[in-house]
Amino acid sequence: MDYFAQQLINGLVLGSIYGLIAIGYTMVYGIVGMINFAHGDIFMIGGFIALITFLILVSIGLSFVPVILLIVLLVSMAVTALYGWTIERIAYRPLRHSFRLAPMLSAIGMSFVLSNYSQVAQGARVKPVPPIITGGYTLHEGPSGFAVQLSNVQIVVVVTTVLLLGVFTWLVAKTRLGRDMRACEQDQTMAALLGVDVDRTISMTFVIGAALAAVAGMMYLLYYGLVDFFMGFVAGIKAFTAAVLGGIGSLPGAMLGGLLIGLIETLWAAYFSTEYKDVAAFAILIVVLIFLPTGLLGRPEVEKV
């Protein structure tokens, strides 16, 4: 039971990271109806920006960890949000009213551009970083000597995810930007007739999604202590799977799907085989979609006539 509790903690932490990335997928799909396949690489860019910012702050003599983490978080969110805004303006907006495959092909191309750009700029080797947040707590120690551990970095990842999810839920439900997003999700033409700046709303959706991906990239750096140019592809595919599993277009579904994918991967690797943990996640996705084609919390798409 202690071993299961430990894997449950590990799965929830990993699922929190996937959920943050999945929100970006589901936001863009909900408003534009397009899958942003470059979103995983935005997550990777956020991780690299966090690493570079951390090294710069340490090199100038800053040593107070909470201040360093706050600055790294703000800088990585700002720079990565700029990437998201630029990509939307260059690669997606000109193709928004084209045939449906054109934005998807552009997104795939942008994914290759970002990954290769990072490989050229930062190199192909894995970039490690020493543990930034250390320490933790022993929750329980069983008769066999196995102790259930909760590290401080795991607490930071989960608490940050919960806080951001709360802030973002308030943003969508209570602010003018959130109302504009919901209006564009229902009908962009009618929203424009009622005074909503559709282009600005879509750009802000990409900006917010990129900022959340940057937070996920920083949490990944803190948790695993490394980044590399290829990590965006793997994490992006899993986050997209999480968004589909939870119900593409549903924000709570994206977070739920992320948590489920994290738990499935962790528990399968712990009790069965590490090599087949990805197969298990996709197999469960297929089973769920057979019985729930719109995902766990997704809503059937109503055709407008």
Query: What is the pLDDT, as a whole number, of residue 303?
Result: 53
What residue spans define the domains of the chain?
15-233
Residue type, 108: I
Q: Taking the model in full, what pTM does it have?
A: 0.90
Q: Would you state the torsion angle of the CA atoms of residues 114, 120, 124, 126, taken in this order, to the nearest 10 degrees?
A: -70
Query: What is the pLDDT, as a whole number, of residue 145?
Result: 72
Query: What is the pLDDT, as a whole number, of residue 301?
Result: 60
118-122 CB contacts, 8 Å cutoff, 24+ apart: 118/41, 118/44, 118/45, 118/48, 118/229, 119/229, 122/48, 122/229
Query: What is the pLDDT, as a whole number, of residue 300?
Result: 64
Segment 53-104, tens digit of pLDDT: 999 999 998 888 889 999 999 999 999 999 999 999 988 888 877 877 888 8
Segment 104-123, tens digit of pLDDT: 888 889 999 999 999 999 88
Query: What is the pLDDT, as a whole number, of residue 54?
Result: 93
Q: What is the mean pLDDT of the chain?
A: 87
Which pLDDT band, with edges at 50, 70 and 90, does 289 fall under?
confident
Residue type, 59: S
Residue type, 291: F
Segment 164-201, tens digit of pLDDT: 888 888 888 888 988 998 888 888 888 898 888 998 99
C-alpha 45/C-alpha 211 separation (Å) is 11
Segment 247-260, tens digit of pLDDT: 887 788 888 999 99
Segment 4-63, tens digit of pLDDT: 889 999 999 999 999 989 988 888 887 777 788 899 999 999 999 999 999 999 999 888
Instruction: Indicate if the pLDDT at residue 1 is higher than 90.
Output: no
